[in-house]
Structure 1
Amino acid sequence: MADELVRTNRLVTVFGGSGFIGRHVVRALARDGWRVRVATRRPDLAFHLQPLGKVGQITPVQANLRYPDSIVHALRDAQAVVNLVGILSETGEQKFDAVHADGVKALAKAAKAGGASAFVQISAIGADPDSASAYARSKARGEAAAREAFPEAVILRPSVVFGPEDHFFNRFAAMARYMPALPLIGEGKTKLQPVFVGDVAKAVALAVEGKTTQGAIYELGGPEVATLKRILEFVLKITERKRFLAPISFAQAKTIGGLTETLTKLSLGLFPEMFAITSDQVELLKTDNVVSAAAIADKRTLQGLGITPESFEAFVPTYLGRYRATGQFADRRAA
């Protein structure tokens, strides 16, 4: 009973815990007996997390990485800190450097000053200070800032993350509903290694528990490496849609990206997100998004943490069925 009381009195603050990855991380930490404080800009949108734990175990609080006072308030008495905050495109005050670099620096400093014993930063495979992508450069700056302020910080770099609420497989499946063709940017040759959100959450939980190497960078990928073309073919097969895959060069894709960025601004954000792509996202697709040989050799992977990664080919069909013409029904005659 005493041991259980000690475990339930442990407090971890999860920044960005109300998002796609966040809800799975919060669930994993709650199951491990942590009290979870979810720091988010909109606490009213995080109440759906509370049923993931016991009564009073999960508590949302207001915090913004651009406001140091809110960070200090959210970190009070926390033994561990997890940062999941990230953006894929810039809007308003939400800029890559402000969120991925400056925000991480402020958070890591506050966590160290507040006496936290663990700091886990979610980055991304492809983080590189010399990348042509502003997103990738800002992620690399964030990693450096975290390790400078909190040398023991553990960095987790996932590849494309999949799960029932993802914005990857779901997006392509939704596009196939309305478009006669799907774009193969860079002819679809870019290699990806989709990783299950539940496996990412397990890795976060291990890092919070101190079961990872302090100061290390882990790269998280699933068991399959697949080209973008293969992934789109897989989505079309599962959703039973016949669509033309149109090869588009990176140069053409950047032009389209610039156009959709302009349309998004002119429409005040009303342009459908499903069809939007940015020039920076095109830059990201120029580089394969897979676990490096060095990470595999050093066992800085899911397998190295003792986690058997989930296959996207086995799991994704469980939630893409709703995009079929007949919904979850396999036979059109049943609809």
Structure 2
Amino acid sequence: MTRLVTIFGGSGFVGRYIARRAAAEGWRVRVACRRPEEAGFVRTYGVVGQVEPIFCNIRDDASVAQALNGADAVANCVGVLDESGKNTFEAVQDEGATRIARLAAADGIRDFVQISAIGADADSDSAYARTKAAGEAGVLQHMPQAVVLRPSIVFGAEDEFFNRFAGMSRFGPVLPVVGGETKFQPVWVDDVARAAMAGLSGTAKPGIYELGGPDTHTFRELMQQMLHVIRKNRFVANVPFGIANLMASGFGAVRALTFGLIKGPITHDQVANLRQDNVVSGTHMGFDDLGIQPAAMEAVLPDYLWRFRPSGQYSTVKESAKKLRNQI
């Protein structure tokens, strides 16, 4: 019988790539998410009826149990970068992950993949990092055979990293960043999905994997490479952490006064996260242990950032024409 995988957060950035790969490998895929009516696009990843989006609230036992019914494997991709209402870091990344693992264990499910993040640390100044670590601990308590994946910053066509800053570059000659010298090891989203499939299929050794791309760059260097891809000249200005915290306080006040309707571009927790390098430590397993050669950032960025170029999809054509004219 065809195996069934339940992917919590399967319509999100990382989750949709896992869903696509699972469907391509012949799995039946259940995409558990908060808004299944907006996740219809996942149905196209397989044949009719192979991929099904369903409603699930990971803060509720009954909802999670229903999503797990009949599943052979589970992937939890749910996470938040910013708290909103009841979806706090603790409720989603700690209690939610632990709840899924506890109920999966009760159902006798063996293969479990938890998407965490490099920097997960119970002693971190960042609530995001602390609750990621707490979620890992809760998962491993109930599912000691689980595969925990800790990617560095994840990039891809739907990312909220390069797309966000490329969009910001439209508004002036200066591109501000917080933590310009902080190091990252960007990893392609489909490589993370490949690692997740190794865990779901039971071919990966249980434990923690740190996933980083082939190159390490500072935040400033990443922005410079992104600007090169989109053919724009901007000054990348580093915002000191002290000023960033003052900005976060101001944006936090505006958010409180508008009851959350207006959200600022930076929070105190994000500033705390940006103080720490986001790279593979070498103390855990990685892509090599999975037999995966991660893709280079330079090979992927042009495939989706072209829309931010001055001439969009025609930029390369114009550049080629210009070179040809110069040769005549």
User: Shorter-chain TM-score: what band?
Assistant: over 0.9
Matches within 5 A, 1:105-124: 105-124=98-117
Q: Distance in 2 between matches of 1:232 and 1:266?
A: 33
Q: Which moved more, 1:228-237 or 1:259-268?
A: 259-268
Give the partner amino acid of 1:199. Answer: D
Write the deviation string for residues 195-220 of structure 1: whole angstroms up to 9, x where unpaired. Answer: 00000000000100011112x00011
Does 2:153 match 1:174? no
Q: Distance in 2 between matches of 1:261 and 1:309?
A: 38
SS at match of 2:210: strand
Q: Once the 2 structures are TM-superposed, how far is the Cα of residue 333 of structure 1 from its aligned partner?
A: 11
Does 2:267 match 1:278? yes
Q: Given the alignment, which residue of 275, 292, 297 partners 1:312?
A: 297
Q: Distance in 2 between matches of 1:70 and 1:247?
A: 44
Q: Distance in 2 between matches of 1:333 and 1:49?
A: 37
Q: Once the 2 structures are TM-superposed, how far is the Cα of residue 332 of structure 1 from its aligned partner?
A: 8.0
Q: Distance in 1 between matches of 2:198 and 2:31?
A: 18
Instruction: Give the RMSD, CA atoms, in angstroms.
Output: 1.6
Q: Distance in 1 between matches of 2:238 and 2:209?
A: 33
Q: Given the alignment, which residue of 329, 332, 335 partners 2:314?
A: 329
**Percent of aligned positions with the same letter in both sequences?**
48
Does 2:228 match 1:251? no
Q: Once the 2 structures are TM-superposed, how far is the Cα of residue 180 of structure 1 from its aligned partner?
A: 3.0
Aligned partner of 2:198 in structure 1 is 206
SS at match of 1:33: coil
Give the partner amino acid of 2:301. Answer: V
Change (3 A) 1:67 1:194: same
SS at match of 2:238: strand
Matches within 5 A, 1:1-335: 6=1, 9-186=2-179, 188-214=180-206, 216-271=207-262, 276-295=265-284, 300-330=285-315, 331=318
Q: Distance in 1 between matches of 2:219 and 2:39?
A: 33
Q: Once the 2 structures are TM-superposed, how far is the Cα of residue 258 of structure 1 from its aligned partner?
A: 2.1
Give the partner amino acid of 1:80. Answer: A
Q: Distance in 2 between matches of 1:99 and 1:138?
A: 9
* C-alpha contact 1:326 1:332 (8 A) present in aligned 2: no
Q: Distance in 2 between matches of 1:89 and 1:290?
A: 21
Write the deviation string for residues 34-84 of structure 1: whole angstroms up to 9, x where unpaired. Answer: 101111111111110001011111111111111110001000011111100
Aligned partner of 2:324 in structure 1 is none
Q: Distance in 2 between matches of 1:161 and 1:205?
A: 17
Q: Once the 2 structures are TM-superposed, how far is the Cα of residue 268 of structure 1 from its aligned partner?
A: 4.7
Q: Once the 2 structures are TM-superposed, how far is the Cα of residue 270 of structure 1 from its aligned partner?
A: 4.6
Give the partner amino acid of 2:189. Answer: V
Instruction: Give the paired residue count.
Output: 319
After TM superposition, the score normalised by the length of structure 2 is 0.94
Q: Once the 2 structures are TM-superposed, how far is the Cα of residue 124 of structure 1 from its aligned partner?
A: 0.2
SS at match of 1:172: helix
SS at match of 1:139: helix
Q: Distance in 2 between matches of 1:279 and 1:133?
A: 8
Give the partner amino acid of 1:222. Answer: G
Q: Distance in 1 between matches of 2:222 and 2:99?
A: 38
Write the deviation string for residues 185-243 of structure 1: whole angstroms up to 9, x where unpaired. Answer: 23x110000000000000000100011112x0001111110000101111111112222
Write the deviation string for residues 114-169 of structure 1: whole angstroms up to 9, x where unpaired. Answer: 11111111000000000000000000000000000111111000000000110001
Change (3 A) 1:290 1:333: closer
Change (3 A) 1:266 1:242: farther
Q: Distance in 1 between matches of 2:218 and 2:82?
A: 23
Q: Distance in 2 between matches of 1:179 and 1:146?
A: 45
Give the partner amino acid of 2:197. Answer: A
Consecutive unaligned residues in structure 1, runs of 5 or more:
1-5
Give the partner amino acid of 2:73. Answer: A
* C-alpha contact 1:118 1:152 (8 A) present in aligned 2: yes
Give the partner amino acid of 2:4. Answer: L
Aligned partner of 1:3 in structure 2 is none
Give the partner amino acid of 1:233. Answer: Q
